[in-house]
Amino acid sequence: MGLKFFIKVSCKDIMPIDLAVLSKIVLIYLCIPLLLSACSLPEISKQSQIMNSLGDIAGEVNVTVANDAPVHAALFIKDNALLDLVDLYPVGSDGKYVFHVIPDTYFIAAYVDTNSDEIYQVDEPASYLGITEAKPKEVRVNAGEKIVAENITINGSINNRFEEKEEWSYPQYDKNIGRVVSLDDPIFKRENAEMGLWRPLDFIDNIGGGLFFLQEFEEEKIPVLFVHGAIGTALEWKEIIDSMDRERFQPWVMYYPSGGRLDMISNYMIQAMTTLKNRHQIKQIYVIAHSMGGLVARSYIMKNTESKSTVKIALSMTINSPMKGIGSAKSGVKYSPIVVPSWHDVAKDSEFIQKISAWTWPADIPYHLIFSYESGEGSDGVVSLESQIPFKLQVEAEKVYGFNISHAGILKDRQFITMFNTILDESLNRNVVSK
């Protein structure tokens, strides 16, 4: 995700705030009754401001040697005259990369990972911005600025190396790509999910998040990637995961700070899947998403398709997702004294919603659209039917299913779980027949 932060705020920094207004916004936004201490409000506000100030550095790497090996773009920041690794981005077949960064001055390099160990060795082909001058070129990013860096061309190994730290310190969210955990792991505790919404920078620093495996990778089993919603963790999927046929499918779980910008989260998914493809030569994956996770998943699949990735999305499902946004989040952005960064994206008519809504779903990716409602209501208690099942998505979907149950209750409903496993079975059988 490309971020390093250390935030400390004391209670003496508290500003006067209308807690009634904030509480109302919180209750409206996905109906989650969180109690916020007055001491935490300045910290929440500061982290939100930093997240909303993020800029982008995008670029492209061209390689003339060892074209069949993985390529990584590396982002550095200067620390005591040495360059310190901030993030590593596995470049896809299109050669493109993107880093999300706080305003600062950065340096960019790239290398060909000829031995596929994801660690740079001095004899591996590499280059960096400024190599022709034998001096790393500074890339200054201001708040909200989107920088397109010069192309990096890798022709061979570096003779005039820049001075970086002897050992690169990889971010935890990179270390967590493909890490095997259990659903009992304490990282999935509810308080960590709450941290992810209200203090996403603390979450990135302390928890990391990532794309986790729940068992060792097995090539013959189809990965099923679960994407949670706001204040969610892998535990939301426990009943569904427990019901799966683990002889044919292997569950993966996406874990992210739900207060973060959704474009950043879906970019991380692209990054993680590229890494896993390089490691395991993954041929296909199923993507299953609940609530706000459906927005993240659609954004990921859109980017995966546009980049012509060789990771095939063989099945996708969104469950009770606010595909047209949430009106109360729009009100929160406008009126709340503290705005969670993800509200900007979830808000009805947001730039993010408009972008993923305008995109047309590929005909070769089976899409199942799941919605629910409560009797006598025009919603599932959280997301309106209008937002869950816009007409465009009904047309794009292979099938549309409705359940009379609550927003969160659907993930534990036996009828839904049975239908879910039937869809997996049918998709697997169809893929077998088509081979």
Q: Which residue ranges make up each domain of the chain?
A: 55-154, 172-434
**Token digits for 322?**
């606010």
Q: How large a percentage of the chain has pLDDT more than 70?
A: 87
Q: What is the pLDDT of residue 333?
A: 86
Q: How many other C-beta atoms are found inside a 10 Å radius of the C-beta of residue 111?
A: 27
CA dist., res. 131 & res. 187, Å (int): 41
Over residues 296-305, mean pLDDT: 96
CA dist., res. 70 & res. 317, Å (int): 30
Over residues 328-338, mean pLDDT: 83
Asked if pLDDT for residue 38 goes beyond 90, the answer is no
CA dist., res. 208 & res. 201, Å (int): 9
**Token digits for 164?**
């970086």
Over residues 237-247, mean pLDDT: 98
Asked if pLDDT for residue 33 goes beyond 80, the answer is no
CA dist., res. 247 & res. 267, Å (int): 30
Lowest average pLDDT, out of 138-142, 306-310, 349-353, goes to 306-310
Q: What is the pLDDT of residue 18?
A: 34
CA dist., res. 324 & res. 338, Å (int): 23
Read off the pLDDT band of 169 (50, 70, 90).
confident
Question: Going by C-beta distance under 8 Å and a sequence separation of 6 or more, which residues neighbour residue 218?
Answer: 250
What angle do helix axes 327-335 and 19-28 make, rounded to 10 degrees?
A: 160
CA dist., res. 171 & res. 350, Å (int): 30
**Top-confidence residue, 42 or 320:** 320
CA dist., res. 412 & res. 405, Å (int): 10
Lowest average pLDDT, out of 133-142, 159-168, 312-321, 380-389, goes to 159-168
Asked if pLDDT for residue 5 goes beyond 70, the answer is no
Q: What is the pLDDT of residue 79?
A: 84
Query: How much is the pTM?
Result: 0.88
Asked if pLDDT for residue 189 goes beyond 70, the answer is yes
71 backbone dihedrals φ, ψ, rounded to 5°? -125, 140
Virtual torsion, Cα 425, 427, 432, 435, nearest 10 deg: 180
Alpha helices in 119-261 (DSSP H): 172-175, 190-198, 200-206, 238-243
Top CATH class of 55-154 equals mainly beta
Pairing of strands 55-63, 96-101: antiparallel
Q: Pick from 15-24, 87-96, 205-214 the range whose average pLDDT is largest.
A: 205-214
Read off the pLDDT band of 167 (50, 70, 90).
low
CA dist., res. 229 & res. 259, Å (int): 10
Alpha helices in 89-232 (DSSP H): 172-175, 190-198, 200-206
Over residues 96-123, mean pLDDT: 94
**Top-confidence residue, 337 or 210:** 210
CA dist., res. 134 & res. 279, Å (int): 33
Q: Which helix (H) or strand (E) holds 367?
A: strand 367-373
Question: Going by C-beta distance under 8 Å and a sequence separation of 6 or more, which residues neighbour residue 242?
Answer: none
Q: What is the pLDDT of residue 165?
A: 60
Over residues 205-223, mean pLDDT: 96
Asked if pLDDT for residue 410 goes beyond 80, the answer is yes
Over residues 125-153, mean pLDDT: 94
Contact 309, 333 (CB under 8 A): no
Read off the pLDDT band of 181 (50, 70, 90).
very high
Query: Which CATH number describes the domain made up of 172-434?
Result: 3.40.50.1820
Lowest average pLDDT, out of 1-5, 58-62, 282-286, 303-307, goes to 1-5
Over residues 359-376, mean pLDDT: 96
Segment 50-106, tens digit of pLDDT: 998 999 999 999 999 877 899 999 999 998 878 889 999 999 888 999 999 999 999
Burial of 423 (0-12, 13-18, 19+ CB in 10 A): buried
Mean pLDDT of the chain: 88
Q: What is the pLDDT of residue 329?
A: 86
Burial of 412 (0-12, 13-18, 19+ CB in 10 A): middle
Q: Say which residue the tokens 């971020």 belong to.
A: 3
Lowest average pLDDT, out of 27-31, 321-325, 424-428, goes to 27-31
CA dist., res. 286 & res. 316, Å (int): 6
* Inter-CA distances, 279 with 11, 138, 155, 275, 313, Å: 46, 32, 24, 6, 18
Length of the chain: 435
Concatenate the DSSP letters of all residues of 6-18 into one string.
-----GGG-----
CA dist., res. 364 & res. 273, Å (int): 20
